[in-house]
Amino acid sequence: MIVGTRDKHEPSYYTLNSKSNERNYTACLATDFSAHNATDSETLFNGTEATRVNGDSYYSQVALGDKCKNDGGSGKCTADLYFDTDPKINFLSLTILGLRILFLKTIVFNVLMTLRLWMS
């Protein structure tokens, strides 16, 4: 087994802003760092824990707050809290739900009629 040295990657910081009708939310994202405790020096990240996606070699961490340093990121990102819905997808989802209910009622009716036939 060969053990090589692991390159150390410092975190890239991004400011995430979300604007809703009632409030403005700000979060700080630290991403693509190799050491689990790379953000311990930042007081903003004290209440959160770094996570890593299965199979990925780098960690990411998110904290709520507006004091994010932008030393490695691309700046500000905006995110909406609400998703736009597609009327066609909503209609298809309702149609599938209706067909499932109809199928279930058919099965129940057939079982009841079969039981009634056996009882007589």
Please enumerate in sequence order all residues whose Cβ is within 8 A of that of 117, keeping only pairs 6 or more positions apart, or say none: none
**How far is 70 from 54, CA to CA, in rounded Å?**
27
Question: What is the distance of C-alpha 25 from the center of its chain?
Answer: 17
Beta strands at 24-33 and 59-64: parallel, antiparallel or unpaired: antiparallel
d(CA 31, CA 24): 22
Helix (H, G, I), strand (E, B) or coil at 89: helix
What's the whole-number mean pLDDT along residues 49-56? 72
Query: Residue ranges per domain, the chain?
Result: 12-79, 85-120
Mean pLDDT across the chain:
75
- At position 86, the amino acid (one-letter code) is D
pLDDT digits (tens, 9 = 90+) for 71-95: 544 444 444 555 667 889 899 999 9
The string of pLDDT tens digits covering residues 30-45 is 777 777 666 666 666 6
